[in-house]
Amino acid sequence: QKEVEQDPGPLSVPEGAIVSLNCTYSNSAFQYFMWYRQYSRKGPELLMYTYSSGNKEDGRFTAQVDKSSKYISLFIRDSQPSDSATYLCAMTGGSYIPTFGRGTSLIVHP
């Protein structure tokens, strides 16, 4: 079992939908939780990160961490076709080397 599990999708939603992307993990030492967005044929770029448990909001994006359940989520409100990309979760704690999920492919169709 990988330390970080992420459903690869693809997840296909209509424009305007609320999107929920999720990762589960097994390492209790993880403290920093990051979401990267990767457009086709580009490198990943940081979307946002949170420390420990709780929520963090940035525009249409909300990151949520539940350490008791070892479960993190990224919500996208009012999804747009430009949000179509692969979303990767990543975590650090104990070691500074990030552990990545495999990524979820999101398709937002007009």
Of the candidates 79, 74, 85, the one whose C-alpha atom is nearest the C-alpha of residue 48 is 74
Beta carbons of 84 and 1 less than 8 angstroms apart: no
**Span near another protein by CB under 8 A; candidates 10-18, 56-64, 75-83, 84-92:** 84-92
* Binding of another protein by 71 (CB under 8 A): no
Beta carbons of 29 and 86 less than 8 angstroms apart: no
* Binding of another protein by 75 (CB under 8 A): no
* Binding of another protein by 46 (CB under 8 A): yes
Beta carbons of 34 and 91 less than 8 angstroms apart: yes
Q: Which of 10, 51, 57, 77 binds another protein (CB under 8 A)?
A: 51
Q: Look-up: residue for tokens 């104990």?
A: 94
- As measured in angstroms, the least distance from the Cβ of 5 to another protein is 11
Whether residue 44 is preceded by a cis peptide bond, meaning omega within 30 degrees of 0, is no
Site string for another protein, 4-43 (x = CB under 8 A): --x-x----------------------xx-x-x----xxx
